[in-house]
Amino acid sequence: MRNTSKLMILSSAALLALVACSSDDGKTDSASRSASKPVEQRKATPRLVLTYDGGLNVIDAGTLDSVSDIPVDGFTRVNDAGNGRYVFVSTSNGFQLLDAGTWSEPHGDHSHYYTAAPKMTGQSFGGEKPGHVVVHDGRTTLFSDGTGEVDILDSAKIGSDDALISKFTVPAHHGVAVARADGSVIVSQGDAKTRTGVIIRGASGKTIASNDQCPGLHGEAAAQGGAVSFGCEDGILLVQGEQITKVKAADPYARIGNQAGSEVSPIIMGDYKTEKDNEHEHPKKFSLTDTRSKTIKVVDIDTTYSFRSLGRGPAGEALLLGADGKLHVFDAESGQEKAAYPVIDPWTEPENWQDPMPDLHVIGSTAYVSDPAKKRVLAVSLHDGAVLAEHSTGQENLEMTGVTG
């Protein structure tokens, strides 16, 4: 079904009026965050944020109606900030904070729900080449590749002036950090040319444990029970408490550079590439790492996919958006395919990772699939594969995230 779009386009002048001057500590004029009068809603209103070359589309996740179109210069990436309302936009000026304009306020034994016009808040964090954003244990951790700066935020306070918990710097590299509730931080180690492993940095800043057996470290995911995984070119590094374990893959070269975790599953889903000298390998297998047995299961499939294809369902299902145009649903424990829902036309992963390609994002029991070839986004039920809604974005969208409201 196709819904009529109700566009509320912010002009450049209106956008500039909403943006206040920011400082290195993320503070901004509080008046800029209250410029839009909120409207109370009957229930939470999830929203999607999609990037395109030159801006952001904000869309109602229920109806897929357009909410706002916000111009942003350059190639941008987006990540959920971890509190159901805000999104970090990675730009040449660091991690800039977008208020998606939907939130809940607890009131005794119930909550009140509100929406407002999305806006850039004027807050920014980090520095040159903003990279990974990780939400874990009520903390949101930002890693700036160009400076090695690690910013740790209280997820619940993001959007206020006192969200920043702490910050420190490591040698600049394409890295990642995961802050934990006990004050410790797992942070990648490396330099501009290579990544080799992780250290567990205690609340005092001292190293608790380290492991340098992870060539080409990239990406992370968290599983049930607080286990955190990091991808290597020969398997996985698994961090549980203060223990770091190398989980070796069966193949001598097995890059698991992208992972998807679930709080209700002990299994980490990951990609699986075995062609060391092929930068543009299109794999037809993926990995399932069991954090209990510390073993890797490799699942063969009949389609290729991209790094944006991996997702998890509400019960821990392993989801994969195949280049065959189908949304594949697997049992994460056994690796058995449970369903394959046709959703878009077959596609091919581009050689340049910044070019448009389908993306997958999951909120509850709904999978959202962007289809840049047809300049649209679809909402797909994970119960039966039914297309619940469809929306024409008018853009070749690049990346997608969402907030729950």
pLDDT in tens, 279-289: 899 999 999 99
Q: What is the rounded average pLDDT of the residues 156-163?
A: 97
The CA angle 120-48-357, to the nearest 5 degrees, is 105
Q: What is the rounded average pLDDT of the residues 37-56?
A: 95
pLDDT at 36: 65
Non-local CB neighbours of 259 within 8 Å, separated by 6+ positions: 219, 220, 221, 229, 231, 268, 269, 270, 271, 310
Which tens digit of pLDDT belongs to each residue from 341-361? Answer: 999 999 999 999 999 999 999
Q: Which region, left, alpha or beta, applies to residue 225 given φ > 0 means left and ψ of -120 to 50 means alpha?
A: left
* Alpha carbon separation from 26 to 119, 134, 172, 272 (Å, rounded): 16, 18, 21, 38
Sign of the C-alpha dihedral computed for residues 62, 4, 76 and 382 taken in this order: positive
Complete edge-to-edge strand list for the sheet that includes strand 243-248: 218-222, 228-231, 235-240, 243-248
Residue 25 confidence (pLDDT) above 90: no
The DSSP code for 13 is H
d(CA 120, CA 88): 10
**Domain ranges, ordered by start, for the chain:** 126-403
d(CA 160, CA 342): 42
Which tens digit of pLDDT belongs to each residue from 110-135? Answer: 889 999 999 999 999 999 999 999 99
d(CA 316, CA 299): 16
pLDDT at 192: 79
| C-alpha closest to that of 320 among 341, 350, 298, 291 | 341
Q: What is the rounded average pLDDT of the residues 175-203?
A: 95
CA 321 from chain center: how many Å?
16
3-state SS class at 363: strand
pLDDT at 8: 32
d(CA 169, CA 150): 6
Domain 126-403 has CATH 3.40.47.10: no
pLDDT at 193: 85
